[in-house]
């Protein structure tokens, strides 16, 4: 917050702690009134439609970096002109997304505890059978012993509508849930070398039938990292996993990866990685393997303009195909118009190749293009506004899977 530095100077010079606390309490009071304004906007949205939309834009509001506890509230109103990604007779709808949460971030010496808990409510105007409430959370303990040994314990959950692959002609919004548990450790046994290890469990599930199956994976990984001392590093990692997948049952997984991050300067950073993923099933006949890779760079062209470019390839499980290989290319420029106003644009091209279909199914290849524009405005320190437009189009070799959609959303967010 802009008030942070004056407050710190006041405390340092006069050491009047009680007066500083009164000022902090006063700031909290203004935050509560902001929260009431958000609730008022939500009540008005259903009555006055687009006029209410123009009053609130969704964004991320900044709070004082020194705050241990941060409360937040947000409202986003969104229109999707093809909610179920149909090739014909598209169904449009309005979505109201209301979220609230609290974040605790506390550090003692080399120990840091972070807890983030929230509630996100999704309400559709016409297709209200798709209404649902998500409860995302994150709990993380970053620990350190001395200067050479550290690690983290982390639990998290994410829930959100997944509209990316309605391969079965779904007529309901699919909800994707991801639960992650992870324990990791790093030992820097030499100024230029570190040993990494981790145990993890990832569970992904869907509320509706999609082309991607539900699965649970338990993994153990070991990596060796070389540090350049200038923010760059190279790492070789081996991950072994076991899990269960919907329909296909138990499997073993192996992923070997070589990855590097390069800090050329303070304005230019890049990353590059390559790996090999293989999965074998107890039932047999569904085994697959493939190459994975990532490449990208971020360039701070000027003090106000930066550019991010990236590309990657992943290999994923499928229900009616043995697997699919997905390649993504992304270009994302950003312009910091002023201290409080910024604009973003992005273009992403994705190609999905499906391998070894079940008997009777033909070849499937998809091409998806997504373009977007966004405007973010930090109106005041606790209040942020933003607006975004997105156009998405998919063409598929499979009949009935082509679609085009446009989405608009406007919102408001508070952090105090």
Range of the domain at 30: 17-415
Structure-token match 């145990």, residue found:
199
The sign of the torsion formed by the CA atoms of 26, 27, 32, 38 equals positive
204 within a domain of the structure (yes/no) = yes
pLDDT-derived band of residue 66, with 50, 70 and 90 as boundaries?
very low
Q: What is the pLDDT of residues 180-194, one digit of tens each?
A: 999 999 999 999 999
**CB contact at 8 A, 368 and 403:** no
Within a domain: 227: yes
* CA–CA dist 61, 377 (Å, integer): 9
| Residue 17 pLDDT level (bands cut at 50, 70, 90) | very low
Domain-located, residue 298: yes
Q: What pLDDT, on the 0 to 100 scale, is given for residue 31?
A: 40
pLDDT given for residue 213 in this prediction: 87
Domain count, the chain: 1
With respect to residue 26, please indicate whether it lies within any of the assigned structural domains: yes
Q: Per-residue pLDDT averaged across 149-174, rounded?
A: 80
Q: 101 pairs with which residues across the strands?
A: 72, 118
**Residue 389: inside a domain:** yes
Looking at residue 231, what is its pLDDT? Answer: 86
The predicted-structure confidence for 379-391, as pLDDT tens digits, reads as follows: 998 999 999 999 9
Rounded to the nearest 5°, which phi and psi values hold at 23?
-65, -40
d(CA 115, CA 179): 15
Q: Of 6-20, 166-180, 246-260, 296-310, which range is least confident?
A: 6-20
| 114 belongs to a structural domain | yes
Please say whether the beta carbons of 279 and 289 come within 8 A. yes
pLDDT attached to residue 335: 98
Report the predicted TM-score, pTM, of the whole model to 2 decimal places.
0.78
In this predicted structure, what is the pLDDT of residue 50? 33
Percent of the chain with pLDDT over 70: 81
- Whichever domain contains 52, its CATH number is 2.40.160
Residue 1 in domain:
no
pLDDT at 28 over 70: no
Whether the Cβ atoms of residue 136 and residue 121 lie closer than 8 Å to each other: no
Neighbours of 59 (CB within 10 A): 25
Q: Give domain status of residue 6, yes or no.
A: no
Helices 4-14 and 17-48, axial angle in degrees (round to 10) = 160
Which residue matches tokens 């209200």? 128
């Amino acid at each position: 917050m802009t008030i942070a530095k004056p407050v710190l100077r006041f405390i340092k010079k006069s050491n009047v702690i009680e007066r500083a606390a009164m000022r902090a309490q006063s700031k909290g009071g203004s935050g509560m009134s902001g929260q009431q304004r958000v609730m008022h906007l939500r009540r008005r949205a259903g009555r006055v439609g687009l006029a209410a939309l123009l009053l609130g834009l969704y964004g991320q509001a900044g709070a004082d970096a020194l705050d241990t506890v941060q409360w937040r509230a947000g409202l986003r109103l969104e229109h999707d002109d093809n909610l179920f990604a149909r090739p014909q007779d598209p169904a449009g709808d309005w979505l109201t997304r209301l979220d609230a949460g609290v974040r605790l971030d506390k550090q003692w010496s080399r120990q840091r505890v972070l807890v983030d808990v929230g509630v996100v409510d999704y309400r559709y105007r016409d297709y209200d059978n798709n209404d649902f409430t998500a409860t995302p959370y994150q709990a993380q303990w970053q620990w350190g012993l001395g200067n050479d040994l550290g690690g983290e314990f982390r639990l998290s959950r994410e829930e959100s509508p997944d509209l990316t692959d309605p391969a079965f002609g779904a007529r309901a919004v699919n909800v994707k849930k991801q639960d992650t548990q992870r324990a990791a450790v790093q030992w820097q046994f030499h100024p230029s070398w570190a040993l990494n290890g981790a145990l993890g469990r990832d569970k992904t599930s869907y509320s509706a039938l999609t082309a991607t199956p539900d699965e649970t994976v338990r993994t153990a990984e070991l990596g060796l990292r070389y540090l350049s001392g200038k923010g760059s590093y190279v790492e070789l990692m081996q991950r072994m996993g076991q899990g269960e997948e919907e329909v296909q049952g138990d499997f073993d997984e192996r992923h070997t990866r070589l990855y590097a991050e390069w800090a050329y300067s303070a304005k230019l950073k890049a990353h590059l990685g390559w790996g090999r993923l293989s999965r074998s099933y107890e039932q047999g006949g569904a085994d697959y393997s493939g190459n994975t890779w990532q490449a990208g760079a971020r360039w701070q062209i000027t003090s106000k303009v930066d550019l991010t470019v990236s590309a990657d390839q992943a290999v994923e499980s499928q229900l009616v195909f043995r697997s699919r290989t997905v390649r993504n290319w992304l270009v994302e420029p950003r312009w910091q118009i002023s201290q409080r106003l910024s604009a973003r644009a992005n273009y992403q091209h994705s190609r999905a190749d499906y391998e070894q279909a079940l008997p009777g199914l033909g070849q499937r290849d998809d091409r998806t293009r997504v373009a977007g524009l966004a405007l973010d405005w930090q109106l005041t320190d606790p209040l942020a506004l933003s607006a975004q437009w997105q156009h998405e189009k998919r063409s598929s070799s499979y009949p009935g899977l082509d679609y085009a959609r446009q989405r608009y959303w406007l919102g408001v967010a508070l952090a105090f």
